[in-house]
Amino acid sequence: MAEKNERQARFHGRIPGQRSCDHPGCTEAGEFRAPPIEGSRAGFDGPGAWRWLCLDHVRAFNAGYNFFNGMTAEEISAQQRPYAGWERETRAFAAAAQGSGGPRWTDFVDPLDAIQARFSAARPAMRQDGKLLSDADRRALKVLALDADADRRALRTRYAELVRRYHPDRNGGDRSHEKALQDVIEAYNRLKSAPAFA
């Protein structure tokens, strides 16, 4: 009995519970669901109330199930057409995707190479010296309006230029640029300790 319970536990669709099998005269646990009437199909509102069957009886139900039971010849023919469902209109692809200028699939033998080429264009460029930049480092470079290959000297020069531009003591006491000044200082402090600028 323990071996049978262990075997039943491995089946997909098993829903354990305290129900008994709905097949007349069966005392096993009803752990698999089936439609209420054999051969019935789900309607627009779903299958309705489920019947709960044991493993042996749900196997017997599945072996005798016929999707086309109760359909007319025209309905069966409509379900068996190779293009059934394709006659509906579908929405067009986005205009941006059509003219994106990405790689053509026919240019590649391996589809994974085409996918890699498509997304490598969106990847940020590497530094010429091979040093890595984090996303936060790239955002800091953007604040300072520097490219990824900037060196420590360019970093200091750009920082001094922006501090002179935004500092209230250098621009007649104008405090409207305090946020920009704070962003520049934070970006510089981050980058001067970054491994790429060490």
* pLDDT tens-digit series, residues 96-107: 555 556 667 777
Among 32, 63, 94, the domain boundary falls at 63
Closest-CA residue to 55 (of 29, 93, 75):
29
Q: What is the pTM of this model?
A: 0.40
Q: Is the residue at 190 inside a domain?
A: yes
Strand partners, 46: 43
**Domain count of the fold of the chain:** 2
Q: How confident is the model at residue 25 (pLDDT cuts 50, 70, 90)?
A: very high
Residue 165, domain CATH: 1.10.287
Q: Is the residue at 167 inside a domain?
A: yes
Among 14, 32, 63, the domain boundary falls at 63
Q: Is the residue at 164 inside a domain?
A: yes
Among 63, 96, 116, the domain boundary falls at 63
Q: Is the residue at 128 inside a domain?
A: no
Q: For residues 16 and 52, give the distance between their C-alpha atoms in angstroms, rounded to a whole number.
A: 11
Q: Which residue has the higher pLDDT, 22 or 114?
A: 22
Q: Is the residue at 79 inside a domain?
A: no
pLDDT in tens, 122-141: 666 677 787 888 888 889 99
Q: For residues 48 and 41, give the distance between their C-alpha atoms in angstroms, rounded to a whole number.
A: 10
What residues make up the domain containing 36? 2-63
Q: Is the residue at 21 inside a domain?
A: yes
Q: Is the pLDDT of residue 21 over 70?
A: yes
Q: Where are the beta strands (DSSP E) in the chain?
A: 32-34, 51-53
Q: Is the residue at 15 inside a domain?
A: yes
Q: What's the burial of 115, exposed, middle or buried (CB within 10 Å: 0-12/13-18/19+)? A: middle
Q: Is the residue at 123 inside a domain?
A: no
pLDDT in tens, 37-49: 654 555 555 556 7
Residues in the chain: 198
User: Which of 69-73, 76-80, 140-144, 156-160 has the least mean pLDDT?
Assistant: 76-80
Quote the mean pLDDT of the chain. Answer: 78
pLDDT of residue 45: 58
